[in-house]
Chain A
Amino acid sequence: MNIVRRESKANAKSLILWSVGSVIMVATGMAKYAGMAGSGDSMNKLVASMPKSLQAIMGTASFDLSKASGYYGLLFLYLLVMGTIHAAMLGAGIIAKEERDKTAEFLFAKPVSRTKALSEKLLAAVGNLLIFNAVTLLSSIAFIRMYGNGERFEETIVLLMAALLFGQLLFLSLGAFIAAILKRPSAAGACAAGMLLFTFLLSIAVNMKEELHLLRYLTPFQYFEASKIMDAGLDPVFISLSLFLTVGFTTLAYYFYNRKDLGS
């Protein structure tokens, strides 16, 4: 467990920054809602008057913005983006850094197998994701109580945070997989972020064009759409799919990392 300890320590600063970012996002978001809540239905009318494509980009499609829950649903998209970027960069970085910083020669000259090192690194990373998720959950509950005009939907928030966690785990495994297969691991972080951006844009495209709806299986941002989760809970098909992909990427990461020549 020495690598878990080492990695938790090494990533502590970045985790604090990301967590603070999440708290600020929730706090400012819900504070804005409080400022707007007095204007009643006018916000909904304003959004409805915007072109559909703009609504799709902002993710406002089906939320009642006069309610705190509707507003939080809109905010969740940005929390999801933030959480998954954090996870993807963490997954790529925690694996790639040994080669990038040329410390692989130190670590793997020690009596430790690649499998064990990878496991401990991923364990430390999952710990980080859980903390980020818990901070987001607690700050969501706290700021909705503060600004939400008395509306309570804490069970829904827990459900949304579960969705966030599935998303985080999926992108963590994607980042680790990319770091494991790339010959030049310094590009792993950028590559993982690029793939995340691509799937995010794809999700917007799916929202804009009905004909593209089959592509929704290709982008995790469709798996965890707040409006659907708030209406009908987690979709078992999408959750299974995301679990399947997470396990798949993780398995492949082990496979390739064990066979990789560690560059000097």
Chain B
Amino acid sequence: MFELAFQAQREAVRLVAAVTVVASAEGKEWREIAEAAGTTEASARAHWGGAKAAELLAETSSTAGRRTQPTTRMAMAFTDGVLLPVVLAMQQGAQLLGNALKTLQRNLGVSPEELTQRAEVPVPAVHLVVDGQAVAPWTLTYVLIDLMEDDPEEIKWLWERAWYGRCHRDLAAGLGTLSAAFRGARIAAGTPELSAVSRRAGLAPEEAVALFEGRTNPDRSVFSLLIASLGADPEGLWPPQVPQHMTMREPQSGGDGT
């Protein structure tokens, strides 16, 4: 009973922090937030200011987040009206996805309010997703990317990393399997010039172009160099190792045998 009560108390604190983040993102001043909370501005800042709020929202509890939730998830990948709150284990992935969405939003010159209006979702939902504080199911993420006139495939890799904690791809599937990861990470990095990216990664410019266009597949070290040069963690974006005995591919026969 005590455990339940303390858990409810912790969740309430997290909820207040989330609401404050949204209010702040919507342009509310600390004075207004403090007034609504019945406290002083200094106290409100101390309790729910940027770093503190992020810490509270990222806090891993026994019930929050897929990594620490062994029973069942509350949200499925294809659904509406549900956001997955970010916990420590998925913070980096959610931040990367949020950065990518922010870049697209900036490139198109559209405000979060316009975006939410077009997507017909609540304003806080878009704020939380773009700020990397929550991950939306693929349905909403897809709609947002589509509204921002980009190819959802480029961002899907980042979404999988944020939602499932890993990216599932068959590296034996052919050329260009990893190129979407490069393009997504580049968008998340604010779309830097390819020449700058290749220089930072120590690659020849033409090699970097071939990798981004999917004309060649990199080995793991080149993949890591390129992803790290875009400010992302290569470990989280590299597809999981598939044991040798699982990678045997069936003959891709031309006939269907029917």
A and B from one complex: no
